[in-house]
Structure 1
Amino acid sequence: MNIKTNFPDGFLWGGATAANQLEGAFLEDGKGWSTADTALYTKERRSLASITKRMESKDIDFAMEDKEGIYPKRTGIDHYHHYKEDIALFAEMGFKVYRFSISWPRIFPNGDGEVNEAGLAFYEKLIDECLKYGIEPLVTISHYEFPLALAKKQNGWESRKTIDAFVTYAKTLFTRYRGKVKYWLTFNEINIIGMTGYLSGGILADNVDNFMQAQYQAAHHQFVASALCVNLCHEMLPEAKIGCMLARMESYPETCKPEDVMESIYSDHNNLFYSDVQIRGYYPTYMNKFFKDNNINIVKEDEDDAILLNGTVDFMSFSYYMSGVSSANNDGEKTEGNILGTKKNPYLEASDWGWQIDPVGLRVTLHKLYDRYQIPLFIVENGLGAHDVVESNGEIHDEYRINYLRLHIEQMSIAIEEGVDLMGYTPWGCIDLVSASTSEMSKRYGFIYVDMDDEGNGTNIRSRKDSFYWYKKVIDTNGSDLTS
């Protein structure tokens, strides 16, 4: 059944992935080590500790020498050798855009220095394959695959030297893919550096005295690097658009108690600090007290404030999986979520992994962000991680995923009707891939099933789920037919 669509002509329907979670080809064709390559899988480890752990030099030395452990992000789903098949499936669904990331150490194995031509050639082939089907590439320049060599050499983004290395890397991409890529993102979920340090920042805990100071100093260096790359993109690729990307943590006050409302405001400050800097071009004053209370002193160069002000992004992209609850009282049942745990909301259902499902929360977030920034928004991650069952006839009936996505798309449509400028939607893990947080395959998001288990066993054969055909219909009708 078709209904009137609120999605504009040219709306960018598609899907999203990340190099470290699907490519594989570990150290192949000159690729260097990344922080993702040290992510060990164990059956007992399904908690967020696997992604928030403060890594030390001894931990990465162990991972680099370990011959017994399972490191799923080193193999992914072997997209490196299956990209043509995978993109053909995306094209069959009718993708208008495909969001993927480029692995920094596949281009610069040591993070700086010598460029790896084989890496540049691989992504050029991938981009050309997208363009062959009329799919616009949306390229994330840095997505949790920080070069391990720079972590060991200069403690990652804590060092200002990393700015120059990143700008050189981005300039190399802009030069090579000029005229082929219209949409760019600088850092995936830039706020995650404030929660992990190591994953996206390469910060080793044994090399710092005040870890939180190091995290926020690293964030500052990423802000400067992002602003420099925005200006570079505008100069080199005037037809292109470049945005920021935030892990959005929508949080409701637990009650109408004023203290709970203030906690929800503080939650927004903690979350939106990063996009405030990248979109407004300056540090918000609400962070002054936080920095003072936590003994954080951001070291800036004289030109940094001008760089930030002149390097604001063209659009804001973000991930949204769930909402949380803010309370002045920390007692009560907790639930896990995208990097960050929260108090349980009794009005919401939860996924197999305890992530609370809140479609209306997406509309709340769309309004909050658009009211705050007044620039186009792009939902570049949203989806349901679930256990999928392959029937005896090979079919995968994932009505639960269809329901999740339908409810979120409905709220997107209402938000657009209510005045929000939304440019596109790329559900996360459009093909099954390795989980960022737990390094497992059993937490599946895709429209396409990949026959591989948590320990890397399987045929690696791709199969269409029921959601594949449903999403194809959604795209074909520009969001007017959401029925199963």
Structure 2
Amino acid sequence: MLRVSLLLCFLLTIKSVSSSTDNFCRDDFPSAPAFVFGASSSAYQVEGAAAEDGRTPSILDTFAHAGHFHGATGDVACDAYHKYKEDVQLMADTGLEAYRFSISWSRLIPNGKGPVNPKGLQYYNNLIDQLISHGIQPHVTLHHSDLPQALDDEYGGWVSRKIVKDFTAYADVCFKNFGDRVLHWTTMNEPNVFVLAGYDGGYLPPQRCSIPFGLNCSRGNSSTEPYLATHNILLSHASAARLYKKNYQDKQRGFIGINLFAFWFFPQKKTIEDELAAQRGLDFYIGWYLNPLVFGDYPDVIKKNAGSRIPFFTRLESQSVKGSFDFIGFNYYTVVHAKDNSISLKSTNRDYHADSAVKMTLPKRNESSSFEYPIAPWGLQRLLEYMKQNYGNPPVYIHENGQQTARNSSLEDRSRIKYVQGHIQALLEAVRNGSNARGYFIWSFLDSLELLGGYESSFGLYYMDLDDPDLKRQPKLSAHWYSQFLKSKNLTSLDGFLESLSHGYHSQ
């Protein structure tokens, strides 16, 4: 079933974005809480207060202080730890229906296990209460690349089976203390990319890799550890989900899921070889996690090529992982062209992800900016159609979607509006075509520390001058557009929207 050709998937996508009207509004979607619009962040990227009130370092702190984020750190970031009331008011003013954020494991449990930090507990209780009081749904992620450094030091973090017990205990603290108000839990943020970057290429923490697949790592094995970390992540997710469903879900009536990064893989040429390459890309990036979650085991193409290097699920583990989610979250930004590279399957002796089996290239970027992603909303439609056709159409949230620009570019970020408008329009077409999508979150609410670009690039609806001691939040044109979309019954064209703005905005 999973081997449905991409050509069939393309034919099943009934409507294209270009055939739709540009005029649509919030009311064209199901109303909240059935469908929500919000914005996203993560703890290390916005909170700051990195060494305050009992918080200890995560692997992101260690990585940043070694100079790997272009010299930037999250020590202050957006100072959301101190400015959360101001930020929640800004969210309410914007019209957000939901806010997705992550909990800093090392702020809540400084040693990664053991005693809970009262100050950390208080902060997240305060933030959640503030959101609820303004009618904003909190959507909480438990792990957003920021494993406590203490656990990495003690036993290697995600490459050790010990992590399953510690992650489950951490999740239990969160469910017990916040679950009466938090109804949407995501265990992991894009673990597929976390593993590829951290355990294969070694260009993000925890910097485990081996030559020739990754450089500048002092430890790790790119041939085996990505499989091992993925296996332990899946077991940890399943363990936390099982705990939630057994002890909390009936009373708290919430939902638990996991998030994945997703490209849409598009054949570079209309050849069978490139179509198969695109399918391999989907299998290695998405199926690597979704197949165990839906069917109980890894895709055959991965098991065949990985051989003994990939751990196998016991019968009980397979049963535990299978079906251990109420929803799937996706972080989607653009499409990639896939070109056949199947010869590498026979030569590299390590093929666990698409890079080894597929040559990937981005479509041509916006000529005016080397930062901006190619705008390809149709890829989001086809991703959602693929989920419907191959994985039973589970509930899906678009947890991240947004346009990257240079940080100090103009507040009049028309390219971001064009990008977001196109993707919301594509999402609407997917919903009308039967997708079980439940929400859309812009990445990101504020300009924040980016895990690949430091402070050199931005995704935010709101800009901050890092040289301003008060870190004043300044609305970009996209913030005004998103707010109007959320609040008005009709959405005009971009030109009409610009004409409707008060002259006060342009004088800021």
Q: TM-score, normalised by structure 2?
A: 0.81
Task: Give the equivalent residue in structure 2 for 1:323.
Answer: 335
- Superposed displacement of residue 364, structure 1: 1.5
Q: 1:387 aligns with which of 387, 400, 406?
A: 406
The secondary structure found in structure 1 opposite 2:101 is: strand
Does the 8 Å contact 1:362/1:408 carry over to 2? Answer: yes
Q: What letter matches 1:159 in structure 2?
A: S
Corresponding residue for residue 283 of structure 1: 298
How far apart in 2 are the matches of 1:173 and 1:410?
35
Which of these residues, 401, 404, 407, is aligned with residue 416 of structure 2? Answer: 401
Label 1:136 to 1:328 Cα distance change in 2 as closer, same or farther (>3 A).
same
1:35-74 maps to which residues of 2 (within 5 A)?
35-40=59-64, 70-74=71-75
Change (3 A) 1:22 1:384: same
Map of 1:417 onto structure 2: 432
1:209 and 1:133 mapped to 2: Cα distance?
A: 46
- Write the distance in 2 (CA, Å) between the matches of 1:350 and 1:290: 41
Q: Output one character per residue of 1:367-399: Cα deviation in whole Å (capped at 9) or x when no partner.
A: 1122222111110100011135577xxxx2111
Distance in 1, Cα, partners of 2:400 & 2:313 = 32
C-alpha distance in 1 between matches for 2:366 and 2:51: 43
- Residue 261 of structure 1: how far off its partner (Å): 1.2
User: Which residue number in structure 1 is paired with residue 169 of structure 2?
Assistant: 168
Superposition RMSD in Å: 2.8
Q: Which residue of 2 aligns with 1:23?
A: 47
Contact 1:389 1:397 in 2 (8 A): no
Determine whether 1:437 maps to 2:452.
yes
8 Å CA contact 1:142, 1:186 repeated in 2:
yes
The change in CA–CA distance for 1:414 and 1:209 in structure 2 (over 3 A counts) is closer
TM-superposition CA deviations, 1:175-200 (whole Å, max 9, x none) = 00121000010100021233123688
Structure 2 counterparts to residues 171-190 of structure 1, below 5 A: 171-190=172-191
Per-residue CA deviations over 1:56-89 (Å, capped at 9, x if unaligned) read xxxxxxxxxxxxx944222211111111111110
How much does 1:203 deviate?
6.5
Query: How do 1:190-205 and structure 2 match up within 5 A?
Result: 190-197=191-198, 202=206, 204-205=208-209
1:119-198 equivalences under 5 Å are: 119-197=120-198
Which runs of structure 2 are paired with 1:208-287 in the superposition (5 Å)? 210-235=221-246, 236-238=248-250, 239-272=253-286, 273-287=288-302
What amino acid is the match of 1:366?
L
Following superposition, the deviation at residue 279 of structure 1 comes to 3.3
- Alpha-carbon distance in 2 for matches of 1:437, 1:476: 33
Match of 1:30, SS state, is: coil
State the partner residue of 1:372: 390
- What's the secondary structure of 1:356's corresponding residue? coil
Unaligned runs of 5+ in 2: 1-21, 210-216, 343-353, 498-508
Q: Determine if contact 2:371/2:406 at 8 Å carries over to the other structure.
A: no
Aligned residues: 442
* Secondary structure, aligned partner of 2:398: strand
Task: Extract unaligned runs of 5+ from structure 1.
Answer: 52-68, 331-338
Q: Cα deviation per residue 1:319-373 (whole Å; 9 max; x = unaligned)?
A: 011110111269xxxxxxxx98932425977853253221211111121122222
Which amino acid counterpart does residue 397 of structure 2 have in structure 1? F
Partners in 2 of 1:23 and 1:209 — Cα distance?
30
Report the Cα distance in structure 2 between the residues aligned to 1:119 and 1:285, rounded to whole angstroms: 43
Is the partner of 1:265 in helix, strand or coil?
helix
Deviation digits for residues 237-291 of structure 1 (CA, Å, limit 9, x no counterpart): 3310111100002111111121111111110111111122223333332321121
* 2:361 counterpart (313, 324, 343): 343
Change in Cα spacing, 1:346 to 1:98, as seen in structure 2 (3 Å) is closer
Query: Percent of aligned pairs with the same residue?
Result: 29
Say if 1:326 and 1:350 are closer, same or farther in 2 by CA, change over 3 A.
Answer: farther
Contact 1:99 1:140 in 2 (8 A): yes
Q: What is the rounded CA distance, in whole Å, between the counterparts of 1:38 and 1:12 in structure 2?
A: 35
Given the alignment, which residue of 466, 477, 480 partners 1:469? 480
| Equivalent pair of 2:139/2:185 in contact (CA under 8 Å) | yes
Report the TM-score when normalising by structure 1.
0.84
Q: 1:251 to 1:423 in 2, by over 3 A?
A: same
Q: In the alignment, which residue of structure 2 is the partner of 1:312? A: 324
Q: Secondary structure at the match of 2:422?
A: helix
How big is the shift at 1:201? 7.5
Decide whether the 8 Å contact of 1:319 with 1:380 is kept in 2. Answer: yes
The answer to whether the Cα contact below 8 Å between 1:242 and 1:313 also exists between their aligned partners in 2 is yes
For 2:131, the aligned partner's letter is C
Aligned residue in 2 for 1:361: 379
Q: In the alignment, is residue 452 of structure 1 matched against residue 471 of structure 2? A: no
* SS at structure 1 position matched to 2:39: strand
Asked if structure 1 preserves the Cα contact closer than 8 Å seen for 2:365 and 2:372, the reply is no
**CA shift in 2, pair 1:420/1:479, >3 Å:** farther
Residues 1-33 of structure 1: CA distance to partner in whole angstroms, max 9, x if unpaired? Answer: 964754112220110000010101012111111
Q: CA deviation at 1:117?
A: 1.6
Q: What is the CA–CA distance in structure 1 between the aligned matches of 2:361 and 2:368, rounded to whole Å?
A: 13
